[in-house]
Amino acid sequence: MTPFMLALRTARRYRARAVLAIVGVAVIGALNFDMLMLSRGLMLSFADLLDSTTYDIRISGSAALPLARSPIDNAGPLTAKVASLPEIASVATVRTASGSFVEPNRPAQSLELIGSSQPSGVGIWRLIAGSNLDARTGQQQTAVVSRTFADRFNVAPGATIHVRVGATGSISAIPPIPLRVAGVGDFPFEPADSLVVATTVEGFTQAHGGVTDDRAEFMFASSRPGVSTDAAVDAIARLRSDIRVFSNEQLVTNFGRNAFTYFRQISVVLSSTTAVFSLLLVTTLLTVSVNQRLGEIAALRALGISRRRIAATLLWEAVLLVAVGGVIALPLGQLLATMLDGILRRMPGLPAGLHFFVFEGPSVALHAAVLAATAIVSSAYPVWLAVKLPIAQTLRQEIVS
């Protein structure tokens, strides 16, 4: 009989202990798997969020952090210069302002008003119902509202809403403007519960009484096919010294080095702790199992079973317990990660498109490597006890007892 079959029969014989070990490994392994996903989850989610916009370059004011809404002065001439660069395929500007949704017999509700030079909303929203903005002038301006806005106020495409912009530090006297709702969209860079109304640059100007300064909170650009993104970034950066230009890759690297370090450190500490707990659990159970079977092991040794075969049997026992528990840990960890992600994403101000836990192949591979190391290390002491066992003395003690 092979060592694997001996280990399998032992697990069946001591079912309660085997089930306890498997459940323990599954629970601890699920926690460890979640910590592995947490270590890179935000960074991967952030990278996917940026790449989904089709724009690979971000432009902000010189004093701003990446993606921060620091005004870019003289945005119109800058947009024209960026669009004329041979390295650039397209460019878009975005304006934002605080406003309110006003309707008769209803208290005003605060919202965020976005003015986009890109009617399709690429990089700002993802359309889920209706259509995108109508860029034609000379008619009522259109808007795309957030899902939360549509649900809260029962607004559907085709409805007309009235929006008034606010004036910092005072009550706005600017009359509200009507906007025809063209569609409903998800705004992944805004908090999930945000009330957002996006309109064209012309609609944004009308909301300000027809007069706005030549500023943009941020700008997007995309490089031409066949052109290096770094070359396009350098070309834009040379246009003016009072702007900051980043590629998506640079943003992810920067945030991974700074903003996400805290979660990576937590992940390392917690995953190491759970791995130690799993190691101690399996080692303890295997050691107890060997101590209970000293007479059986001594009898096998007396019958001529080699030390190597005894060691292989114990190693297979550890592998079976850890492997079964580790496989169960994957769906259990994914379920737990979904629950934890839903809780953590309720943090105020967190973009709706970010996730703390992201399932990926390297996390599964590292999870398997940790469990394999656990099985090998946890069987070391029980194997040492079995191979160093004095046969005659152990059999004599078994007979006497």
- Both 130 and 96 in one domain: the answer is yes
Residues 272 and 169 grouped into a single domain: no
What is the mean predicted confidence (pLDDT) over 17-33? 86
- Return d(Cα 346, Cα 350) in angstroms, integer: 8
What is the tens place of the pLDDT at every residue in 115-160? 998 888 888 899 999 999 986 656 788 999 999 999 999 999 999 9
Least confident of 123-137, 274-288, 304-318, 385-399: 385-399
- How far is residue 209's CA from residue 196's CA, in Å, rounded to a whole number? 20
Q: Does any domain span residue 253?
A: no
Query: Is residue 143 within 8 Å of 180, Cβ to Cβ?
Result: yes
**pLDDT, mean of residues 54-82:** 78
In terms of domains, do 319 and 384 share one? yes
Residue 356 has pLDDT above 90, yes or no: no
| 76: number of Cβ within 10 Å | 12
185 and 79, same structural domain? yes
**Residue at 389: amino acid letter:** L
> Which pLDDT band, with edges at 50, 70 and 90, does 394 fall under?
low
Distance CA 209, CA 99 (A): 13
Q: Considering the domain boundaries, does residue 275 fall inside one? A: yes
Helices (H) and strands (E) in the chain, counts: 13, 12
Within a domain: residue 254? no
CA–CA separation, 132 vs 120, rounded Å? 5
**Length of the chain measured in residues:** 401
165 within 8 A of 174, measured Cβ to Cβ: yes
Same domain, 291 and 233: no
Q: What is the average per-residue pLDDT within 51-80?
A: 77
Q: Whole-angstrom Cα distance, residue 74 to residue 20?
A: 68
Residue 251 lies in a domain: no
Q: Is residue 249 part of a domain?
A: no
Burial (CB count within 10 angstroms: exposed 0-12, middle 13-18, buried 19+), residue 304: exposed
Q: What is the pLDDT of residue 380?
A: 86
With bands split at pLDDT 50, 70 and 90, how would you rate the model's confidence at 63? low
| Average pLDDT over all residues of the chain | 83
**Domain final residue, candidates 241, 270, 287:** 241
CB 141 within 8 A of CB 179: yes
Tokens of 349: 């101000």
- Do 107 and 144 fall within a single domain? yes
The parent domain of residue 358 ranges over: 3-50+259-400
**Mean pLDDT over residues 232-246, rounded?**
90
Give yes or no: residues 162 and 218 share one domain.
Answer: yes
**Same domain (yes/no): 91, 210:** yes
Q: Are residues 176 and 71 in the same domain?
A: yes
**Cα-based distances in Å from 187 to 112, 195, 285:** 11, 10, 51
Per-residue confidence (pLDDT) for residue 42, from 0 to 100 = 79
Q: What is the pLDDT of residues 169-221, one digit of tens each?
A: 445 567 888 999 999 999 988 888 889 999 998 989 888 887 788 888 888 89
Q: Indicate the range of 105-114, 238-247, 291-300 predicted with least confidence.
A: 291-300
pLDDT at residue 328 greater than cutoff 90 = yes
Query: What pLDDT was estimated at residue 138?
Result: 61
Instruction: Say which DSSP state 295 is in.
Output: H
Which of 212, 241, 270 finishes a domain?
241
Are residues 149 and 291 both part of a single domain? no
Same domain, 83 and 195: yes
Q: What is the C-alpha separation between 60 and 240, in angstroms, rounded?
A: 12
> pTM for the whole thing?
0.72
- 179 DSSP assignment: E
Percent of the chain with pLDDT over 70: 92
User: C-alpha angle with apex 76: 73 to 80, nearest 5 degrees?
Assistant: 125
**3-state secondary structure string, 23-64?**
HHHHHHHHHHHHHHHHHHHHHHHHHHHHHCCCCCEEEEECCC
Residue 58 maps to a domain: no
Report whether 250 contacts 345 (CB < 8 A): no
Number of domains in the chain: 2
For residues 368 and 327, what is the distance between their CA atoms, to the nearest angstrom? 9
For the chain, the straight-line distance linking the first and the last C-alpha, in angstroms and rounded, comes to: 30
